[in-house]
Amino acid sequence: MPQGNEKRQLIVEIVTAIALPALVFTGLYFWQNGGADNVAVETNENEIRSAKVREGLAAVVRINPLSDKIFRSAEWATLVDFTPSIPEVPLGRPDPFSLPPGIVAPKPTGGMPQLRG
Q: Give 36-65 pLDDT, tens digit per residue.
A: 555 555 567 777 777 887 787 777 767 766
Residue 117 has pLDDT above 60, yes or no: no
Residue 96 within any structural domain of the chain: no
11 phi, psi to nearest 5 deg: -65, -40
Residue 115 lies in a domain: no
Counting the structural domains of the chain, the total is 2
Average pLDDT over residues 63-80: 78
Per-residue pLDDT at 72: 82
Does residue 45 form part of some domain? yes
Q: Is 81 helix (H, G, I), strand (E, B) or coil?
A: coil
Is 56 inside any structural domain?
yes
Segments forming the whole domain that contains residue 18: 1-33
- Residue at 57 is within a domain: yes
Assess if residue 59 is contained within a domain: yes
pLDDT in tens, 78-114: 988 898 998 988 877 778 788 877 888 777 776 666 6
User: Would you say residue 17 has pLDDT above 60?
Assistant: yes
Q: Are residues 40 and 51 in the same domain?
A: yes
In a shared domain, residues 28 and 1: yes
Verify that 2 and 13 share a domain, yes or no. Answer: yes
Do residues 50 and 60 share a domain? yes
Host H or E run for residue 26: helix 2-33
Do residues 22 and 1 both lie within one domain?
yes
pLDDT for residue 1: 46
**Does residue 11 lie within any of the structural domains?**
yes
Residue 93 located in a structural domain: no
* Shared-domain flag, residues 5 and 15: yes
Q: What is the DSSP letter of 67?
A: P
Q: Which residue has the higher pLDDT, 106 or 75?
A: 75
CA 95 to chain centroid, in Å, comes to 34
Output the pLDDT for position 35. 56
User: Which pLDDT value is given to residue 55?
Assistant: 83
